[in-house]
């Protein structure tokens, strides 16, 4: 046998090739009984490579024989993959006898020629997103937040609403390093709603190796590119959680002799994220519209990982712990959330003016919060009192019941058209409801639900 294991670290294995040429980067290696899978990540010289562990069912040993498969991950692609859930090695995790078509990971990468397309707004039916972070087909949207503020729940609702409203569109979900429960729940929910028939899932759970978690994203993106360029489809790509992908890269970077950089992250942090983000674009074949959850360590928006992702996005939705404390879901902070699409030429002057007016009121309320805590609302002048009232009404208005949470909220989910949302906000800002208690605005669809005088 020409290749043997010569050293073993926690997640990296040194393999020495004696009678054959060393394999290329991203080549899959296996043990003789195929109980362990490795992927080449660093070439030391013409005979020695470092490979990281993808999975291992048996303990590996020094001098154990290694087989060079001479190919990378084989990714299942095309229409046959719809209605299926896969692991990083392309194995279907739900019962199937289907014979899939496969391509190698990253084989589908093509050049982005800056294809010009007519801006097309995508309506999610979620008030706070459609109003503050409008989404264009082909956009990249980040959902930022710390632990437990509702990133995955919000993404699930977006999946459900867009899957029902977008034509000639497939959904592809990549679960990178999240709880297995969330993947199972999403699969069951999609199946019950008959949405799985046009959806594909690629999952690498948080208890899997770093090698698996860092490769599930390029594997899933390969499948998305195939749908766009070969099937000529539009693709809704959901990645939960892109931070776990970067974290997995960081876990193996020290073993591969990469020096740490800011905040303990790998020096290649920006390169790691660029290599996947630059593949998500629109061309003449179709659009890949991506939604990516981004975990914020310590709720810190200035964390290097968040900044690295943020640089590639067209819009960012920031979920706040302060808003969750007020029992407002989705817990979005409109002042922290941004969108490059907020332009009167794209969204129209009416929507643009409404966003500016709403943000002005919310910003003024934020400035008055300390005064309110110390002196109370009675000490404010009349104009400030009205501003506070409108801001509280707006905050509560952006709460919304979701279809995906009906089983534990026991309230039917609502889809709110953008036109209705803009109209409601204009009426709140005009002072039409200035004498109405802000609590009446919690979890309503539109202001038409409010009966003045109740």
How far is residue 343 from each of residues 260, 375, 418, measured CA to CA in Å? 39, 39, 16
Q: In whole angstroms, what is the distance from residue 234 CA to residue 229 CA?
A: 9
Residue 366 annotated among the catalytic residues of the structure: no
Give φ, ψ of 35 to 5 degrees.
-80, -20
pLDDT tens, position by position, 81-130: 999 999 999 999 887 788 999 999 999 999 888 777 788 899 999 999 99
Hey, how many other C-beta atoms are within 10 angstroms of the C-beta on 404?
A: 21
- From the list 127, 140, 151, 205, the catalytic residue is 151
Give the pLDDT band (50/70/90) at residue 452.
Answer: low
How far is it, in rounded angstroms, from Cα 371 to Cα 38? 60
Residues sharing a CB contact under 8 Å with residue 201, sequence separation 6 or more, in sequence order:
84, 85, 86, 172, 173, 174, 175, 183, 186, 187
Predicted confidence at residue 1, as pLDDT, reads: 55
Residue bearing the bigger pLDDT, 397 or 454 = 397
Output the CA–CA distances (angstroms, integers) from residue 38 to 11, 178, 257, in the order listed: 10, 22, 18
Q: Helices (DSSP H) in 268-417: which residue ranges?
A: 269-277, 304-310, 321-325, 344-347, 349-375, 382-397, 406-409
Q: Strands 3-8 and 121-122: what pairing?
A: unpaired
Catalytic one among 4, 82, 89, 179? Answer: 179
Among candidate residues 178, 233, 251, 277, the one labeled active-site is: 178
How many other C-beta atoms lie within 10 A of the C-beta of residue 38? Answer: 26
> For residues 342 and 352, is the Cβ–Cβ distance under 8 A?
yes
Determine the Cα–Cα distance for residues 348 and 356; give it in Å rounded to an integer: 13
Q: How many angstroms separate the CA atoms of 68 and 17, rounded?
A: 10
16 and 81 Cβ atoms separated by less than 8 Å: no
Q: Quickly state the pLDDT bin for 157 (edges 50, 70, 90).
A: very high
The pLDDT of residue 165: 82
Residue 244 bears catalytic tag: no
Give the pLDDT confidence of 407-435 residue by residue, as tens digits.
888 999 999 999 999 999 999 999 999 99
- The answer to whether 178 is a known catalytic residue is yes
Tens of pLDDT along 268-278?
Answer: 899 999 999 99
- Tokens for 390, please give them: 């409108």
Instruction: Give the long-range contacts of residues 361-366, CB within 8 A, separation 24 or more.
Output: 361/387, 361/390, 361/391, 361/394, 361/429, 362/334, 362/335, 362/391, 362/394, 362/395, 363/335, 364/391, 365/391, 365/392, 366/335
Whole-number Å distance between alpha carbons of 134 and 365:
24
pLDDT over 70 for what percent of the chain? 99
For CA atoms 334, 338, 343, 346, the dihedral sign is negative
- What the chain holds in terms of domains, given with CATH numbers, is 3-68 (2.40.10.170), 74-341 (3.40.50.300), 347-449 (1.10.1140.10)
pLDDT confidence tier of residue 453, bands split at 50, 70 and 90: low
Closest CA to 291 of 115, 190, 160, 404: 160
pTM for this model (two decimals): 0.92
The residues pairing with 65 across neighbouring beta strands, listed in sequence order, are 4
Q: Which two tokens stand for residue 11?
A: 């997640």
């Amino acid at each position: 046998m020409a290749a043997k294991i010569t050293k073993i670290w926690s997640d990296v294995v040194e393999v020495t090739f004696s009678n054959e040429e060393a394999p290329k980067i991203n080549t899959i290696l296996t043990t003789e009984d195929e109980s362990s899978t490795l992927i080449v990540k660093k070439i030391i010289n013409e005979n020695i490579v470092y490979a990281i562990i993808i999975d291992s069912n048996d303990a590996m040993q020094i001098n154990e024989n290694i087989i060079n498969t001479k190919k990378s991950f084989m990714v299942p692609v095309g229409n046959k993959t719809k209605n299926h859930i896969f692991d990083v090695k392309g194995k279907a995790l739900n019962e199937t006898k289907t014979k899939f078509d496969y391509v190698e990971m990253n084989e589908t990468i093509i050049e982005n020629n800056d294809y010009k397309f007519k801006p097309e707004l995508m309506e999610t039916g979620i008030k706070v997103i459609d109003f503050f972070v409008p989404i264009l087909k082909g956009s990249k949207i980040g959902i930022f937040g710390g632990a437990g503020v509702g990133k995955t729940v919000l993404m699930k609702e977006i999946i459900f609403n867009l899957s029902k409203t977008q034509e000639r569109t497939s959904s592809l979900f990549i679960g990178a390093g999240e709880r297995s429960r969330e993947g199972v729940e999403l699969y069951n929910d999609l199946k019950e709603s008959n949405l799985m028939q046009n959806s594909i899932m690629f999952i690498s759970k948080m208890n899997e190796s770093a090698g698996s978690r860092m490769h599930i994203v390029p594997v899933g993106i390969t499948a998305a590119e195939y749908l766009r360029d070969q099937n000529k489809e539009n693709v809704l790509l959901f990645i939960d959680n892109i931070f776990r992908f970067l974290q997995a890269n960081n876990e193996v970077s020290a073993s591969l002799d990469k020096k740490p950089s800011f905040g303990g992250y790998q020096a290649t942090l920006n390169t790691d994220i660029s290599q996947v983000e630059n593949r998500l674009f629109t061309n003449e074949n179709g659009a890949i519209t991506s939604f990516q959850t981004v975990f914020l360590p310590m709720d810190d928006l200035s964390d290097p990982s968040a900044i690295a992702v943020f640089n590639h996005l067209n819009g960012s939705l920031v979920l706040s712990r302060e808003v969750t404390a007020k029992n407002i879901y989705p817990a979005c902070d409109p002042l922290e959330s941004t969108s490059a699409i907020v332009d009167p030429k794209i969204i129209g002057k009416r929507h643009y003016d409404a966003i500016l007016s709403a943000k002005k009121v919310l910003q003024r309320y934020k400035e008055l919060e300390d005064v309110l805590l110390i002196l109370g609302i009675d000490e404010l002048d009349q104009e400030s009192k009205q501003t506070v009232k409108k801001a509280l009404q707006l905050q509560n208005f952006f709460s919304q019941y979701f279809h995906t949470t009906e089983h534990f909220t026991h309230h039917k989910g609502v889809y709110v058209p953008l036109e209705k949302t803009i109209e409601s906000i204009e009426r709140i800002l005009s002072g039409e409801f200035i004498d109405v208690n802000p609590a009446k605005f919690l979890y309503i669809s539109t202001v038409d639900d409010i009966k003045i005088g109740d």
